[in-house]
Amino acid sequence: MPTAPEEITRVLNALGPDNSAAEELLPLVYQELRHLAAARMAKEQPGHTLQATALVHEAWMRLAKHAEQRWENRGHFFAAAAEAMRRILIENARRKSRHKHGGGQLRVELDELQLVAATPDEQVLMLDEALAKLQAVDPQKGRIVVLKFFGGMSGAAIAEMLGVTERTVERQWAFAKAWLVSEIKQVTGA
């Protein structure tokens, strides 16, 4: 049963420096965080080692660790949760990429083997680099990408959070996707 946004906002506002209301907050937001994580993980390749539950727990630990953080409202909290999930996925991809591209393995020159298409982890890293460039140029479009792609949020939820129309979110999402694809193609030479 969904929790009223006002109840979540009330508990977020009650969080003090000692994180006293955190135990009350987790049951209120857990299902929605789980839903966001499951939506994001559904986009991953089969056999991905990180599960939605683990992603939620890691994101929660990161959010709870910052007791001094003040949450304006439910939307602010879930935006931070989406950003935490994005960072976790990027760190996971980087860790796997480091292991895959080194770690005591025998070095082979590129001309001795055929190059293959980017792995899903490499795609996530390329997306993260392109996203950082987009955020530098247009922070709101970058935020929409984080909320929609990494947070799995709907256009309506993002519009409410950002205080714009859903149509504005969809236009900016379309622009951001095209911009990111163009940026990634420039990097890969495709």
Query: What distance in Å separates the CA atoms of residue 17 and residue 165, rounded to the nearest whole number?
Result: 35
Give 138's Cβ-side CA count (13 Å radius).
14
The answer to whether residues 109 and 147 touch, using CB atoms and an 8 Å cutoff, is no
Regarding predicted confidence, which is higher, 124 or 18? 124
What per-residue confidence (pLDDT) applies to 182?
Answer: 86
Number of residues that make up the chain: 190
What per-residue confidence (pLDDT) applies to 20?
Answer: 61
- Which region among 93-97, 153-157, 164-168, 171-175 has the lowest average model confidence (pLDDT)? 93-97
What per-residue confidence (pLDDT) applies to 106?
Answer: 43
Taking 90 as the threshold, does the pLDDT of residue 136 lie above it? yes
| 173 backbone dihedrals φ, ψ, rounded to 5° | -65, -45
Tell me how many domains the chain contains.
1
Could you tell me the residue range of the domain that residue 21 belongs to? Answer: 5-188
- Which region among 22-36, 63-77, 113-127 has the lowest average model confidence (pLDDT)? 113-127
What per-residue confidence (pLDDT) applies to 107?
Answer: 43
pLDDT above 70 covers a percentage of the chain that reads 72
Q: How confident is the model at residue 167 (pLDDT cuts 50, 70, 90)?
A: very high
Q: How confident is the model at residue 161 (pLDDT cuts 50, 70, 90)?
A: confident
